[in-house]
Structure 1
């Protein structure tokens, strides 16, 4: 068996490992980012529904209050109506893929607020 020269056997090993793991790391980063966007969309939908229900309960425009803090890229749709003594609001947002504007589904947030009556 021929003698090996020291330091020649592992040449390029780090480069090969780096090239092999970079796509996996990037895929993991994209998956985590998508989870963050979905969580943020749930938070936005719930908050917008809450704001809309509160505004509708006091006689203001539910749709305007729900859309006040949400940009058009989220594709918001609000459905508001009184139901007995409760004003209910349902806000639907599109689920973004990597950034708002490129969408693949919908998230719904619902809320209700007690109707406020004026004193006579």
Structure 2
């Protein structure tokens, strides 16, 4: 039995093979966007926790240390590596956290992009 000319049997398999790289690339880009959003969330949360701890600590170097320690405590090991924490221990305590955005998964190489989280809170007055 002969197949008729112009039979498109197997065409779907060939099209799937051709589209597979595009599908994989789309999934990788979507995952990278998720990592960027997660980095912003982590930076903001770490800054909030740092500012909160900075207001509860006594003034001076202890406040700066408490702020930085609290901010870094709320980051996992893979995200701590490139983290930069800066606290200003004035009457209005602020914390700035900068995180590097990883390529595909934390702990690997990083993009040369840093996301920033900023938080501030008023100093608690204890009487």
Give TM-score scaled by structure 1 length: 0.88
4+ aligned runs moved over 6 Å, structure 1 = none
Q: Which residue in the other structure is 2:43 paired with?
A: 45
Once the two structures are superposed, residues 1-29 of structure 1 have per-residue CA deviations (whole angstroms, 9 ceiling, x without a partner) of xxx73486112211210111111110000
Q: Which residue in the other structure is 2:119 paired with?
A: 111
Distance 1:39 1:7 in 2: 53
Instruction: Answer 1 or 2: which has greater strand percent.
Output: 1
Offset of 1:72 from its aligned partner? Answer: 2.9
Distance 2:39 2:116 in 1: 9
Offset of 1:107 from its aligned partner? Answer: 0.8
* Structure 2: gaps spanning 5 or more residues: 58-62
Q: Does 1:88 align with 2:94?
A: yes
Root-mean-square deviation (Å)? 1.7
Look at both structures and tell me which one has the larger radius of gyration over its CA atoms.
Answer: 1
- Check the 8 A contact 2:51/2:120 in 1, yes or no: yes
* Structure 1: gaps spanning 5 or more residues: none
Distance 1:28 1:98 in 2: 13
